[in-house]
């Protein structure tokens, strides 16, 4: 830590349109007209204004602007995810921000940590800032409080999971189909004793993925109930659950992990047990180095870019037409075949 002795220059008041008007020798309303590209300004007058703007380094105060504007729009939107540091969330953030910026909007972000209280608090903060709309990954049993926001004219879009107790534009992944494809892939390699590790069933995506697993397994005689473990919310729990699964008799010969945190725990468990090379494995959610693991991880990859873009698109379309019927979009997943899913069942 080093200290540099320079104190900053004295801060001065930012110039306003009135300063610009005075400098240009015009009424301040004329300046406003130029800045908003309104018609009926002489080109010469316009140039004088722009020159004064440049000389003073004037920059519009869009805070003041949006309080006066008739539509009360702030050209900003809010995005609430569970954890900004999570790759799924950050990829979403990136896409949403790009989409918004192309349309002149900025994005406020926040992590809910899966806590409905924090979610509601963030929604409140965003509302206070009068965002034009919000995109959220909803948490908890009830998002009906968002009706209040909508009545104020704020657009609301859910992504990854539908909100509860409220109808709204929603974008989700094809969770069940993705897991079903994983099951069929494993079955092709001769597996019938396929185990599944999932998060809390109360989470929409977890429930959908589990349902996809059960349904697909039905075609192969159904899943062994002991081979299904849910309620795993971090890598450590997944690690333990996986270890327990392989202590069973008969033990599963293949494993599906319901999300990326579970994948991390499960692969660690297989590693500890020394059965990484002979246990077939498919993970939900892609991971940065998945193709460099040995065996390379076969995954059900979510199309986070499409998810984020669809959510942003829904938001802006909602802003354009508040009366349109709500839409629910399902985004296909991509089944990424590498090698871990092709490990054959013993004797196959």
**Which residues of the chain form contacts with DNA (CB under 7 A)?**
13-14, 16-18, 21, 25-30, 32-33, 35-36, 39-42, 44-45, 60-61, 64-65, 67-70
93 near a second copy (CB under 8 A): yes
- State the minimum distance, in angstroms, from the CB of residue 263 to DNA: 47
Q: Counting Cβ atoms within 10 Å, is residue 109 exposed (0-12), middle (13-18) or buried (19+)?
A: middle
7 near a second copy (CB under 8 A): yes
Q: Identify the residue among 70, 71, 152, 274 touching a second copy (CB under 8 A).
A: 152
144 near a second copy (CB under 8 A): no
316 near a second copy (CB under 8 A): no
Q: Which is nearer to DNA, 45 or 86 (CB)?
A: 45
Q: What residue 274 binds from a second copy, DNA, none (CB within 5 to 8 A, per partner kind)?
A: none
Q: Are 129 and 106 in contact (CB under 8 A)?
A: no
Q: What residue 33 binds from a second copy, DNA, none (CB within 5 to 8 A, per partner kind)?
A: DNA
Q: Which is nearer to a second copy, 46 or 330 (CB)?
A: 330
Q: Counting Cβ atoms within 10 Å, is residue 318 exposed (0-12), middle (13-18) or buried (19+)?
A: buried
Q: Which is nearer to DNA, 10 or 70 (CB)?
A: 70
C-alpha–C-alpha distance, residues 245 and 229, integer Å: 9
Q: Which is nearer to DNA, 17 or 232 (CB)?
A: 17
Q: Which is nearer to a second copy, 172 or 183 (CB)?
A: 172
Around Cβ 38, how many Cβ atoms within 10 Å? 11
Phi and psi, residue 47, nearest 5°: -60, -40
Q: What residue 323 binds from DNA, a second copy, none (CB within 5 to 8 A, per partner kind)?
A: a second copy
C-alpha–C-alpha distance, residues 35 and 132, integer Å: 22
C-alpha–C-alpha distance, residues 103 and 29, integer Å: 26
71 near a second copy (CB under 8 A): no
C-alpha–C-alpha distance, residues 17 and 283, integer Å: 57
Q: Is 180 helix (H, G, I), strand (E, B) or coil?
A: helix
Q: What residue 39 binds from DNA, a second copy, none (CB within 5 to 8 A, per partner kind)?
A: DNA
Radius of gyration for the chain, computed over Cα atoms and rounded to the nearest angstrom: 27
Of 19-27, 32-40, 106-114, 192-200, the window that binds a second copy (rule: CB under 8 A) is: 106-114
Q: What residue 339 binds from a second copy, DNA, none (CB within 5 to 8 A, per partner kind)?
A: none
Residues in 237-296 at the binding interface with a second copy, rule: CB under 8 A? 260, 264, 267-268, 271, 287-290, 292-294
Q: Identify the residue among 25, 39, 225, 325 touching a second copy (CB under 8 A).
A: 325
C-alpha–C-alpha distance, residues 265 and 267, integer Å: 6
Distances, alpha carbon 199 to alpha carbons 23, 81, 84, 117, in Å: 64, 17, 19, 20
How far out from the chain centre does Cα 261 lie? 16
């Amino acid at each position: 830590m080093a200290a540099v002795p320079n104190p900053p220059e004295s801060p001065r008041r930012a110039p306003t349109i009135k300063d610009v008007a005075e400098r240009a020798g015009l009424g301040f309303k004329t300046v406003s007209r130029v800045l908003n590209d309104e018609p009926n300004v002489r080109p010469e007058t316009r140039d004088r204004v722009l020159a004064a703007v440049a000389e003073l380094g004037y920059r519009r105060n869009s805070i003041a602007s949006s309080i006066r504007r008739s539509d009360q729009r702030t050209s900003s939107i809010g995005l609430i995810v569970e954890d900004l540091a999570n790759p799924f969330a950050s990829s979403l953030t990136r896409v949403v921000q790009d989409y918004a910026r192309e349309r002149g909007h900025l994005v406020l972000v926040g992590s809910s940590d899966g806590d409905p209280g924090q979610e509601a608090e963030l929604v409140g903060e965003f509302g206070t800032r009068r965002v034009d709309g919000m995109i959220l990954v909803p948490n908890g049993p009830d998002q009906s409080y968002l009706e209040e926001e909508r009545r104020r004219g704020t657009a609301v879009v859910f992504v990854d999971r539908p909100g509860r107790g409220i109808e709204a534009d929603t974008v989700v992944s094809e969770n069940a189909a993705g897991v079903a494809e994983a099951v069929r892939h494993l079955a092709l390699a001769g597996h019938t004793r396929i185990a599944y590790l999932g998060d809390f069933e109360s989470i929409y995506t977890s429930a959908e993925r589990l349902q996809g697993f059960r349904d697909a397994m039905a075609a192969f005689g159904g899943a062994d109930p002991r081979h299904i473990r849910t309620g795993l919310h971090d890598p450590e729990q997944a690690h333990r659950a996986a270890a327990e699964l392989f202590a069973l008799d008969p033990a599963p010969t293949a494993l599906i992990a319901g999300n990326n945190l579970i994948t991390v725990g499960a692969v660690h468990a297989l590693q500890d047990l020394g059965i990484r090379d002979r246990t077939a494995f498919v993970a939900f959610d892609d991971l940065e180095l998945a193709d460099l693991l040995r065996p390379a991880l076969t995954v059900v990859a979510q199309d986070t870019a499409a998810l984020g873009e669809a959510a942003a698109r829904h938001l802006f379309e909602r802003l354009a037409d508040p009366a349109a019927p709500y839409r629910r979009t399902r985004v296909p997943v991509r089944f990424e075949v590498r090698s871990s899913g092709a490990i054959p069942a013993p004797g196959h």
